[in-house]
Structure 1
Amino acid sequence: MAGNSDPLTPRAKLAVTAGKAVAAASRAAGRGSGSVIGGRVALKLDPDLLARLAQNLDVVLVSATNGKTTTTRLIAEALRAAGPVVSNALGANMPAGITSALAGGSDARYGVIEVDEKYLAGVARDTDPKCIALLNLSRDQLDRAAETRMLAENWREGLAGSKAVIVANADDPLVVWAASSSPNVIWVAAGQMWKDDAWSCPACGGVMQRPGDDWFCGECGFRRPTPTWALSGDHVLDPHGSAWPIHLQLPGRANKANAASSAAVAAVFGVPPQVALERMYQVQAVAGRYDVVQFQGRDLRLLLAKNPAGWLETFSLIDPPPAPVILSVNARGADGTDTSWLWDVDYTRLTGHPIFVIGDRKLDLAVRLEVANQHFQVCDNLDQAVQMCPPGRIEVIANYTAFQDLRRRVGN
């Protein structure tokens, strides 16, 4: 084994080199970033590569159903105040993509890593993180993801006794249940708009009571912990009671909540809230999300919403009626092929907006909008929808693969 400056064995170096070569070939062939295929090849050659690459890094893991990619970006910006950062900023968040990202950061001091919910326990085992941020858990990819209570149980078991500092959302009972097996938790009052996955107690199955912003189980006494950090309007309150203003270029309450959690994570590494929050202002868009693009002479704002909780947050930040809205839903592998989640979204919030529907599953969405008494038109593609939109900035809301399709079409 090499000294501290170079923890890689000859085999690990070969794996990294081969992975980068395969990734470069994949990019040259126009098949995306190549990070996943490159990581797979590297891990085949050295199954311990992820652990080796993480060895000299102070690692932060970020996991949640919504907001992982954005929060990872915000934390990475904040920690750059303290040293070089390597991060899987493009959202390849399973072991192969994570390995690929870390292989590219040889001079980094910090590793800020977004992790798919189902892989959190395994990645935590491999990377020995100093800090883990847990933001929320809600229904997503119904055909593939375990029911949310089971995911919380997996987190709880996987993180039990972890040496990491867990930064967790005190307002999400599933996250609290998952984090409370850990000896060192910092609770953040980050809020929870979507509550439909947390009406029964994850500890005993009893009915949750939710007076105001509080929550508790009347049967077993499981209750909201007292937070030491909180989102309060446009400010983050730190453990000393100081209020720090949040200035973001990213819209919406959810991103302020992400910033509050990110400030708590940055403080674990000695970066003060004021410095952390000032640096977060640099983030304008995340992998195309929130970008405003010109297309056919119109301004389009691209918004990603992958599941009911995400749609609810997105509806809260779009321009008021009569701003035109284009909705696009696919049900390919990466989205989950079951579209029954559309019935969990409250589309009456779009009343007053002219709505245009595109995407592979536009007819499923049309039926849902019909039941919600919304006025809409089904279109063949983005070009046709944009041509039919009345004046004003167009809000375009899409789920995962539909969002990628849109970005390709508008050249973003």
Structure 2
Amino acid sequence: MAGNTEPLSPRSKLAVTAGRAAAAVSRAAGRGSGSVIGGKVALRLDPDLLARLAQHLDVVLVSATNGKTTTTRLIAEALRANGGVVSNALGANMPAGITSALAGGSDSQYAVIEVDEKYLAGVARDVTPKAIALLNLSRDQLDRAAETRMLAEHWREGLSSSKATIIANADDPLVVWAASSSPNVVWVAAGQEWKDDAWSCPSCGGVLQRPGDDWVCGDCGFRRPVPSWALHGDYVLDPHGSSWPIQLQLPGRANKANATTSAAVAASFGVAPQVALQRMYTVAAVAGRYDVVAYENRDIRLLLAKNPAGWLETFSLIDPPPAPVILAVNARGADGTDTSWLWDVDYSRLAGHPIRVIGDRRLDLAVRLEVAGVDFQVCGSAQEAVATCPPGRIEAIANYTAFQDLRRVVGN
């Protein structure tokens, strides 16, 4: 348990108060939760506030390209078996948003914090985490985020002096290379569906060989470490050889992998796998993701997919043809303005589904679907897309701001 510390200084208290006021004004103006602007105001008044707010907490950081928000939620639920938890549950994962979240956790024991990949090393330096979960690294917003190996190198350098327990995915070579600089690593066999960013060795640049579930560099010998935790079908295997059933309301293999990593994190704080997994079952949706919403005599399931790896996982979740699918893509600041990633997604997997295409970049997506040989219809709005689908179930897959747009339309 984190030790007791001195109370916040008058300056820090003023910063927290000012941040809350700024957030309240933002909410009143209808500009969202206000967590980011509130955190920015607070940090402007006290640049060391993030570290001060974290000093009494046992902090867990979660970072990855995909699965951060869901895994953060699962870990938070598991740790609530031991005590109070504060978390940035809505995904504001840069320093300002994290600061706002921690400002509400004065009575908590734990902080479970999702961190944007680019900011992980800096946040880890500020908050002195007890554990850091590293899930995966894959190509994402090319106009904002660094190339994946550069991100892995940034992680490797930033975490080399960390005293935290690193819980890392043994199946992702980039994550393994990044985590290997740390003295205390717990390896988890969580799987890696998307491999297109991990064919070359991050250590020497050689070609990785992938015999079965293993991987190894034929040039320098860099290889998959032996995991102590593993996802095996519908079970978590713990370091003692015991298997624990995974029963989630959240769909798909990726969420079973998230649950496996979450169980390993919870165990490092003394929460037994059986208890942790039972608590994870209570999570039915995460910030609207996976929700099924009744709208215009249809049941619309809302699925978020922000990059090629995320789209690949999402395609495995949807109902089989002829279930209608709405695809929505924007390219605003939060999404990344470069849509070249569309060409890395195998949209031929949607063959047989009636497809409706919406969003700011619907024409870019339409060209991609045309090349993939998939039938589709371009619609001017979400309302039009829904109206052209028959009553019943609709699968809606959207990237970040398109997902928020869709939630506003269907009332979720």
> In which range does the TM-score fall when normalised by the shorter chain?
over 0.9
Correspondence list, 1:184-203, <5 A = 184-203=184-203
Aligned to 2:331: 331
Asked if the contact 2:165–2:186 (Cα under 8 Å) also holds between the matched residues in 1, the reply is: yes
Deviations, residues 196-237 of structure 1 (Å, cap 9, x unaligned): 000110000001101111101000000000000000000000
Other-structure match for 1:169: 169
Matching residue of 2:314:
314
Contact 1:300 1:396 in 2 (8 A): yes
Question: Contact between 1:94 and 1:119, CA under 8 Å: does it hold in 2?
Answer: yes
Structure 1 distance, partners of 2:145, 2:132, is 21
8 Å contact from structure 1 (residues 134, 168) kept in 2: yes
- Counterpart check, 1:242 vs 2:254: no
User: Which letter maps to 1:276?
Assistant: A
**Cα distance in 1 for residues equivalent to 2:118 and 2:5:** 32
Matches within 5 A, 1:94-173: 94-173=94-173
Could you tell me how far 1:391 is from its partner in structure 2? 4.3
Letter in 1 for 2:240: H
Counterparts in 2 of 1:359-374, with a 5 A limit?
Answer: 359-374=359-374
Q: Are residues 1:90 and 2:90 paired?
A: yes
C-alpha displacement of 1:4: 3.1
- Tell me, yes or no, if the aligned pair for 1:173 and 1:198 is still in contact at 8 Å: yes
Equivalence for 1:178: 178
Paired position in structure 2 for 1:387: 387
> Take 1:127 and 1:394, find their aligned partners in 2: how far apart are those partners?
42
Tell me which amino acid in the other structure corresponds to 2:79.
Answer: L
Aligned partner of residue 371 in structure 1, secondary structure: helix
Distance in 1 separating the partners of 2:25 and 2:366: 41
Q: Distance in 2 between matches of 1:390 and 1:62?
A: 40
Question: Partner letter of residue 46 of structure 2?
Answer: D
1:409 alignment counterpart:
409
CA distance in 1, matches of 2:176, 2:391: 45
The answer to whether the 8 Å contact 2:292/2:302 transfers is yes
Q: Which amino acid aligns with 2:294?
A: Q
Alignment-mate amino acid for residue 345 of structure 1? V
Does 1:400 find its partner at 2:400? Answer: yes
Retained in 2: the 8 A contact 1:7–1:52?
no
Contact 1:7 1:56 in 2 (8 A): no
Q: CA RMSD in A?
A: 0.9
For residue 5 of structure 1, report the CA deviation from its aligned partner: 5.6
1:377 and 2:377 matched? yes
Residue range with higher mean Cα deviation, 203-212 or 258-267: 203-212
Match of 2:65 in 1: 65
Distance 1:167 1:266 in 2: 10
Separation (CA, whole Å) in 2 of partners of 1:178 and 1:261: 17
Map 1:217-232 → 2, pairs under 5 A: 217-232=217-232
Distance 1:401 1:276 in 2: 32
Q: CA deviation at 1:392?
A: 3.4
Q: Which string of whole-angstrom CA distances, capped at 9 and with x for unpartnered residues, describes residues 59-84 of structure 1?
A: 00000000000000000000000000
Unaligned runs of 5+ residues in structure 2 are none
Structure 2 Cα separation of the partners of residues 6 and 140 of structure 1: 41
Does 2:284 align with 1:284? yes
Deviation at 1:36, TM superposition (A): 0.4
Q: Which residue of 1 aligns with 2:7?
A: 7
Q: How far did 1:6 drift?
A: 4.8
Matches within 5 A, 1:203-222: 203-222=203-222
Q: Which SS does the other structure have where 1:395 is aligned?
A: strand
Deviations 1:352-385 (A, max 9, x none): 1111100000010001001111011001111111
Q: Secondary structure at the match of 2:392?
A: coil
TM-score normalised by the chain length of structure 1? 0.99
Report the Cα offset of residue 161 of structure 1: 2.5
Unaligned runs of 5+ in 1: none
1:272 CA displacement: 0.3
Correspondence for 2:78 = 78
- CA–CA distance in structure 2, aligned partners of residues 340 and 113 of structure 1: 30
Cα distance in structure 2, aligned partners of 1:317 and 1:240: 32
- On the 8 A contact 2:297/2:391 being kept in 1, the answer is no
Q: Distance in 2 between matches of 1:390 and 1:186?
A: 49
Q: Conserved in 2, the CA contact under 8 Å of 1:134 and 1:167?
A: yes
Distance 2:73 2:115 in 1: 13
Q: Which residue of 2 aligns with 1:254?
A: 254
User: Is residue 44 of structure 2 the alignment partner of residue 47 of structure 1?
Assistant: no
Report the TM-score when normalising by structure 2: 0.99
Task: Give CA deviations for 1:90-137 in whole Å, capped at 9, x if unaligned.
Answer: 100000000000001110000000000000000000000000000000
The whole-number CA distance in structure 1 between the counterparts of 2:166 and 2:380 is 46
1:350 — aligned with what? 350
1:387: Cα distance to partner?
1.1
Q: Encode CA deviations 1:227-253: one digit per residue, 9 max, x unaligned.
A: 000000000000001000001000000
Task: Tell me the percent identity.
Answer: 84
State the one-letter code of the partner of 2:213. D
SS at match of 1:393: strand
Please say if residues 15 and 46 of structure 1, whose CA atoms lie closer than 8 Å, have aligned partners that are also in contact.
Answer: yes
How many angstroms apart in 1 are the aligned matches of 2:244 and 2:392? 34
Query: Residues 26-37 of structure 1: matches in 2 within 5 Å?
Result: 26-37=26-37
* Secondary structure at 2:397 match in 1: strand
Distance 2:71 2:260 in 1: 10
Between the aligned partners of 1:117 and 1:314, the Cα distance in structure 2 is 21
Shift of 1:266: 0.1
